[in-house]
Homo-oligomer: A and B are copies of this chain.
Amino acid sequence: VGEPISATHYRIAEALARIREQRPLVHHITNAVTMNDVANVTLHLGALPVMAHAPQEAAEMTALARALVLNLGTPDPARIEAMFIAGQRANRAGIPIVLDPVGAGATRLRRDTALRLLDELTITIVRGNAGEIGTLAGAGGRVVGVQSVEGPDDPAAVSRGMARERGLVVALTGERDLISDGSRVLGVDNGHRWLTTVSGTGDMATTAVAVFAAVEPDHLLATAGGLACLGLAAERAAQEAHGPASFRVALLDQLYHLTPEQLAAGARIVTVEGPEEEISRAHI
């Protein structure tokens, strides 16, 4: 408001408008704890959610979708099998995959499954907390349960390094979200401390990113858009919250009401590494 709004802000606002016009289907093989919240995040942003975790229908449902979320929050053998089947189908069809390696670092099953998904599929975007990304990048990081308690020393460098090595977009979220495609590093400063008091806001962030990736082929931008949306809705929700549960209600309400204009005006995306112009010119 009064400040110059960067091209990036306009482009993510325009992506939000496209989500609401096109209503893309986003398929989730996801965390049983937070399924309901991520279904509603998908719907409130303007897309259509579906959750089909059986291997028997994972490929067919994926083929209908425009983005696929693989979330390791509650892994089990059938769900993991479905993730590989869905992922292979998504790769053949060019459907973007967003991986949330929940709790990678806490158990071998989670770390190994996350690494196998990264090795055997073409993952488009990986979003995790500092402990999870640090673990997957081999850069240190400690996770207790699903909570990051220790991240890498230089998170921007780790994100960029992992993004470059793997050829994908890495989002390491925290007070400042750091997003890299291997060359540029963007920071998203939207958010509110209430987000840390509610279970599943990391899963919501992953889903918001996938909703943007369903319509936006610039995956760095899509990631920034999803994270800025959730963060901005959180800032607006914080004004009405009396505690974490009323914050969650307000957050979902605000996601629904958030307009492209408000997103353009309220997003706080900065260039951490790489020229500002490169961002605004990409994919134009």
Residues of B within 8 A of A35 (CB): 32-33
**Is A249's CB within 8 Å of the partner chain B?**
yes
**Which of A34, A48, A145 lies at the interface centre, i.e. has the most chain B CB atoms within 10 A of its CB?**
A145
**B145 & A27 in contact (Cβ 8 Å cutoff):** yes
How large, as a class, is the contact surface on chain A?
35 or more
**A197 & B56 in contact (Cβ 8 Å cutoff):** no
**A53 & B76 in contact (Cβ 8 Å cutoff):** yes
**B34 & A199 in contact (Cβ 8 Å cutoff):** no
Of A6-14, A122-130, A253-261, the segment with at least 4 beta carbons within 8 Å of chain B is A253-261
CA distance A206 to B20 in the complex (A): 28
**Is A244's CB within 8 Å of the partner chain B?**
yes
**B256 & A44 in contact (Cβ 8 Å cutoff):** no
**Is A43's CB within 8 Å of the partner chain B?**
yes
**Is A57's CB within 8 Å of the partner chain B?**
yes
CA distance A85 to B91 in the complex (A): 36
**Is A101's CB within 8 Å of the partner chain B?**
no
Contact A50 to B146, CB < 8 A, known contacts A200-B39, A256-B197: yes
Query: Considering the complex, which residues of chain A in the window 23-38 have a beta carbon less than 8 Å from any beta carbon of chain B?
Result: 25, 27, 32-37
**Is A245's CB within 8 Å of the partner chain B?**
yes
**Is A110's CB within 8 Å of the partner chain B?**
yes
Contact A25 to B144, CB < 8 A, known contacts A199-B40, A256-B243: yes
**B199 & A144 in contact (Cβ 8 Å cutoff):** no
* A65: min CB distance to chain B, Å: 7
Partner of A107, one of B57, B103, B106, B198: B57
**B50 & A145 in contact (Cβ 8 Å cutoff):** yes
* A196: min CB distance to chain B, Å: 9
Residues of A bordering B, CB below 8 Å: 25, 27, 32-37, 39-40, 42-44, 48-54, 56-57, 60-61, 64-65, 73-78, 103, 106-110, 144-147, 197-200, 242-246, 248-254, 256-257
